[in-house]
C-alpha cells in the first residue's frame, strides 16, 4: 500500500482522521487506475506470500511442546504472511475492503462502482490462485516435510471444518474489521509498522476468526489431501468467509471511518 505525505503532514505530528482518510483515499484511487495485469500479478504474489502464515503456524505447532501455551505461541506464525504482504505492498483482497471503498463512498458513480468491482474481482481470484499455487508447492512438490504438512493439515482442519455456514460468516466479520483497522492505522505507524500489522492479525488468529485468503490456503491443503471436496471447501468456507470479511471491512469499518470525517472533507 503506497504511503503519501499530504499537506500539513510532518514526521513528528500524528495525522488527524481527515488526513488518514485522504491518504487512504488517494491510495485507493491509484489502485483503481492500475492496469489489470499489474493487479493480477500483485494479487498472485500476495496469495503466495500470505500462505506463509499457514506454513509458519504449522512449523511452530510442530516444534513447540504440547502444553497449554502451544496454541497461543503458534498463533504468532499467523502474522508472518500479513507482514510480508502489507510491507511488500502486494494486493490483498481484504485490504481493499477499505482502500478502494473510501473513494467509492466519496463519489458514488457507476464508473467508480465498476472500478471497485473490477479490482475486487481480479484481486480476489488472483489471491485464490496464489494460495492454490502455494498449497501445491507445499503438499505436492514437497517443499514441506511429512511432519510439517501433517501439522498444517491439523491446523487447517480445525479452522475450516466443524462450523456451519452462518457461524463461519459471523467468524469472518471481525477478521474483515481488524484488517481494515490495520490499513487505517498504518499512516500513523511511523516506524512501528510491524507492530501495527502484528497486533490485529494476531488477534484474528488467537480469536479463531476466519480470513478468506489465509483460510483458502488451508482449504486447498485439505482438498489436496482429500479430506475435503472442492465444492465443500468453496461453499462451506470461502463463500461465507468472503461475505463476512466484506461485511466487517466495508459495511462496518469503512462506513464508520467515512462517517467520522464526512463533514470535514471536500470531495
Each residue's pLDDT tens digit, 229-249: 999 999 999 999 999 999 999
Taking every pair of C-alpha atoms in the chain, what is the biggest distance, in angstroms? 57
Whole-angstrom distance, CA of residue 102 vs CA of residue 250: 9
Quote the pLDDT of residue 241. 97
Take residue 99 and report the three cell numbers written for it. 482502500
Task: Map residue 199 onto helix, strand or coil.
Answer: helix
Whole-angstrom distance, CA of residue 110 vs CA of residue 35: 19
Query: Does any domain span residue 266?
Result: no
Query: Does any domain span residue 2?
Result: no
Query: Does any domain span residue 127?
Result: yes
Query: Does any domain span residue 126?
Result: yes
Query: Does any domain span residue 42?
Result: yes
Q: Which of 213, 214, 216 is nearest to 230 (CA)?
A: 216
136: containing domain = 17-261
Q: Cβ contacts of residue 211 below 8 Å, gap of 6+?
A: 94, 172, 175, 179, 204, 241, 245
- The per-residue pLDDT for range 30-78, each reduced to its tens digit, is 888 889 999 999 999 999 999 999 999 999 999 999 888 889 999 999 9
Number of domains the chain contains? 1
CATH number at residue 57: 1.20.1080.10
Query: Does any domain span residue 255?
Result: yes
Query: Does any domain span residue 118?
Result: yes
- The per-residue pLDDT for range 67-110, each reduced to its tens digit, is 888 899 999 999 999 999 999 999 999 988 888 888 888 788 88
Query: Is the per-residue pLDDT at 1 higher than 50?
Result: no
Quote the pLDDT of residue 233. 95
DSSP class of 161: S
Q: Are 168 and 240 in contact (CB under 8 A)?
A: yes
Amino acid at each position: 500500500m503506497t504511503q503519501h505525505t499530504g499537506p500539513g503532514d510532518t514526521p513528528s505530528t500524528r495525522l488527524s482522521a481527515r488526513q488518514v482518510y485522504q491518504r487512504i483515499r488517494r491510495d485507493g484511487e491509484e489502485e483503481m487506475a492500475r492496469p489489470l495485469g499489474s493487479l493480477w500479478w500483485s494479487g498472485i504474489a500476495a496469495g503466495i506470500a500470505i500462505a506463509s502464515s499457514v506454513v509458519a503456524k504449522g512449523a511452530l505447532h510442530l516444534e513447540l511442546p504440547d502444553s497449554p501455551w502451544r496454541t497461543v505461541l503458534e498463533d504468532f506464525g499467523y502474522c508472518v504472511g500479513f507482514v510480508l504482504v502489507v510491507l511488500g505492498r502486494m494486493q490483498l483482497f481484504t485490504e481493499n475492503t477499505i482502500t478502494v471503498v473510501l473513494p467509492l463512498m466519496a463519489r458514488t458513480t457507476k464508473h467508480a462502482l465498476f472500478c471497485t468491482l473490477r479490482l475486487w474481482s481480479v484481486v480476489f481470484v488472483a489471491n485464490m490462485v496464489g494460495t492454490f499455487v502455494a498449497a501445491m508447492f507445499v503438499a505436492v512438490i514437497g517443499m514441506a516435510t511429512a511432519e510439517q504438512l501433517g501439522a498444517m493439515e491439523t491446523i487447517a482442519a480445525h479452522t475450516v471444518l466443524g462450523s456451519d455456514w452462518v457461524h463461519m460468516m459471523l467468524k469472518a466479520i471481525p477478521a474483515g474489521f481488524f484488517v481494515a483497522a490495520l490499513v487505517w492505522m498504518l499512516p500513523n505507524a511511523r516506524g512501528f509498522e510491524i507492530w501495527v500489522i502484528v497486533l490485529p492479525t494476531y488477534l484474528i488468529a488467537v480469536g479463531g476468526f476466519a480470513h478468506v485468503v489465509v483460510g483458502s490456503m488451508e482449504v486447498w491443503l485439505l482438498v489436496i489431501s482429500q479430506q475435503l471436496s472442492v465444492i465443500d471447501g468453496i461453499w462451506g468456507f470461502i463463500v461465507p468467509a468472503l461475505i463476512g470479511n466484506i461485511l466487517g471491512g466495508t459495511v462496518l469499518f469503512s462506513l464508520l471511518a467515512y462517517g467520522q470525517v464526512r463533514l470535514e472533507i471536500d470531495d
